[in-house]
Amino acid sequence: MLVTKQPAFKRFWYPVIPMTELSDRPVPFELLSQPIVLWLTAEGKPAAVEDKCCHRTAKLSLGKVIDGNISCAYHGWTFNACGECVHVPQISEGTISSSYKVKAYPCVERYGYAWVCLGEPLIDIPNITEAFDPDYRQIHEFYETWNCAGLRVMENELDMAHPTFVHTTTFGSEDHLTPDSMEFQEKEWELHYRSTLGVTNPKEQQDNLKMEEEKTVRTIDGVWFMPFTVKLKIAYPNGLVHIIVNTMTPINDSSSQMVQFCLRNDTEADTKSSDIIAFDRAVTLEDKRILESTDYDIPLELNKEQHMLTDKPGIIIRKKVAAFLKAHGEIEQTVNC
């Protein structure tokens, strides 16, 4: 499956840039191989349009923001958040033609990021309830390009058999090759997953978790949101909850923008954000090394790759994606067990 060959993926919301990177200048981004440009309106809200002026196709991202609108660097044509041309310097009198416009995309702020949908949204942005809970603090962690398919990362996040072999310097335990339990609940646009896994607890993590034990148990409540967002709620025996929210925003078929933040039910005085980010950074780099070696053209036909019991979350995900694409007339093959 190649994401750019499936138009239905354009009808989902994706976080494309942290709001902190949007200020007084336009910022380019490639979403599902579509060049777009983002900026802040006069009201401080994010806006997104096609990164191509309708006059002579120059990139609008080379321009500047004037009074909350984006102005082309080539001839100064200026467009609002709806893509309408509101100023042509070379026209001193008369009405600007309604055909002078660029394609605009739905764009909103959520969780500190500008989210964009390239089509008519099928569903809302994933609801992360803890982000609105005063008992949790939000820590923005990573925003970077990974050279792999987002679906591979989604499967990896719910794969409890890889930590022993991949996370050898962080939390993987040779004594726990598989989780002690796995439970699943499917919803129309989601997969809920619960498991328990024995893990190691290195010195760096002992400080973060306020636990001196060298071994502990993670209880993981995961939610996969179609198509490329996952929430992992990791609970520890001492009551600490560490929630990872990861979206692999599809840049093109072979690369994804990794957007990750975490939520914790402790305070900065308990554990420094920099220490939490440092440990999660070590974990993600272990994943990145492996995942960037995988094929980005992921087969939805299950007989194209081999599987084992702990692959069940990924198998469910592939089936749901295949059913979704089939319902939208984009694939015809039956996905067999």
- 269, with CB counted inside 10 A (0-12, 13-18, 19+), is exposed
Is the previous residue joined to 89 through a cis bond, with omega within 30 degrees of 0?
Answer: no
Backbone phi, psi, residue 212, to 5°: -90, -10
Q: Mind listing the pLDDT tens digit of every residue in the chain (337 residues)?
A: 999 999 999 999 999 999 999 988 999 999 999 999 999 999 999 999 999 999 999 999 999 999 999 999 999 999 999 999 999 999 887 789 999 999 999 999 999 999 999 999 999 999 999 999 999 999 999 999 999 999 999 999 998 888 888 887 787 677 777 788 889 999 999 999 998 877 776 666 766 676 666 677 778 899 999 999 999 999 888 899 999 999 999 999 999 999 999 999 999 999 999 999 999 999 999 999 999 999 999 999 999 999 988 999 999 999 999 999 999 987 654 444 3
- 11, with CB counted inside 10 A (0-12, 13-18, 19+), is middle
Q: 57: number of CA atoms within 13 Å, CB side?
A: 1
pTM of the model: 0.91
CA distance 169 to 141: 20
